[in-house]
Amino acid sequence: MDKVRFVCIDCETTGLDPQQDRVIEVAAVKFSMSEIFDSFESLVDPECVIPEASIAIHHISSDMVSGKPVIRALLPHLLDLIGDHIIVGHGVKFDIEMIAAAADRAGIPCTLRHNRHLDTLRMARLYGDSPTNSLEQLRRHFNIRDEGAHRAMSDVTVNMEVFKYLAKNYRSTEQMFEILSRPIAMKAMPLGKHKGRPFKEIPVEYLMWAANKDFDQDLLFSIRSELKKRKKGNLFSQAGNPFGDL
């Protein structure tokens, strides 16, 4: 696996909608398990106002991006660096889609959506020994040096090291892809009002509502698996009516 070259990417953005929001900082590093080959980072003028809620997360203000390159000027070099390499990132589908959507708007050819990718969030779910699977918690769990502020390159630097720790359990990238091709059973709800609660403790009404939302495959698999368990155990009526046995 040491012969394989990966590209770790991260974007800071104005929000979470790839079609409506814009990239305000991007970083990428081409690396192997033992070497760094190339890197790229830049603040980006989003040509729109940066919401205060986003500034509170990444601390990138409108003044900081004023006069910086627009994304269409940066994309040719960024896409060339990434090439057809395996992309690594934490929740990396979002970063891929942000860059690809920017390329679409700029009319720049982009095959990024076809690159194979390895999501360290999903790898961490399989690993299972970290209290939570946020990048910061994984950094602490693996005792990786703090790179400072929540910015694109600092996140990429930490993410690469987290990936190396998580990849130790695999013999090859093909083994990773094979295992990650299947949904992963999660232990607890990672978001919403029941965040942190084991699925077996969450009211069935909430699970039925969540089962039809646009969540990632692992979360939907975990929710629907819990619903199947309850249905098999005839627990639907019990969950819906706590006085059903009285």
Q: Are residues 165 and 217 in the same domain?
A: no
Q: Are residues 176 and 209 in the same domain?
A: no
Task: Give the global pTM.
Answer: 0.90
Q: Which residues are 111's β-sheet partners?
A: none
- DSSP state for residue 50 in the 8-state scheme: P
What pLDDT score was predicted for residue 235? Answer: 58
pLDDT in tens, 212-236: 999 999 999 999 999 999 998 765 5
Q: Is 246 part of a structural domain of the chain? A: no
Residue 185 vs residues 29, 102, 118, 125: alpha-carbon distances, Å: 31, 33, 17, 8
98 and 21 Cβ atoms separated by less than 8 Å = yes
Of the residues 180, 207, 222, the one at which a domain ends: 180
**Dist. CA 237–CA 234, nearest whole Å:** 7
Please state the separation of Cα 196 from the chain's center in Å. 18
| Mean pLDDT, residues 17-44 taken together | 97
| Mean pLDDT, residues 50-79 taken together | 96
CATH value at residue 23: 3.30.420.10
State the average pLDDT for the chain. 93
What pLDDT score was predicted for residue 169? Answer: 86
- DSSP state for residue 116 in the 8-state scheme: -
Q: Which residues 6+ apart lie within 8 Å of 42 measured at CB?
A: 25, 26, 27, 68, 69, 74
**Dist. CA 62–CA 51, nearest whole Å:** 9
pLDDT in tens, 82-123: 999 999 999 999 999 999 999 999 999 999 999 999 999 999
Q: Are residues 175 and 216 in the same domain?
A: no
| Mean pLDDT, residues 139-150 taken together | 90
pLDDT in tens, 174-220: 999 999 999 999 999 999 999 999 999 999 999 999 999 999 999 99
Domain of 205 in residue numbering reads as: 199-240
Q: Are residues 134 and 22 in the same domain?
A: yes
Q: Which three-class secondary structure state does DSSP give residue 239?
A: helix
Instruction: Give the ranges where 90-216 is alpha helix by DSSP (H).
Output: 92-106, 120-127, 135-141, 152-167, 173-180, 204-210
CA angle, corner 210, sides to 207 and 213, nearest 5? 160
Q: Which helix (H) or strand (E) holds 141?
A: helix 135-141
Domain count, the chain: 2
Q: How far apart are the first and last CA of the chain?
A: 60
| AA letter at 34 | S
Of the residues 180, 215, 232, the one at which a domain ends: 180
Q: Is 176 part of a structural domain of the chain? A: yes
- DSSP state for residue 114 in the 8-state scheme: G
Q: Are residues 120 and 214 in the same domain?
A: no
> Which residues are tagged catalytic?
150
78 and 152 Cβ atoms separated by less than 8 Å = no
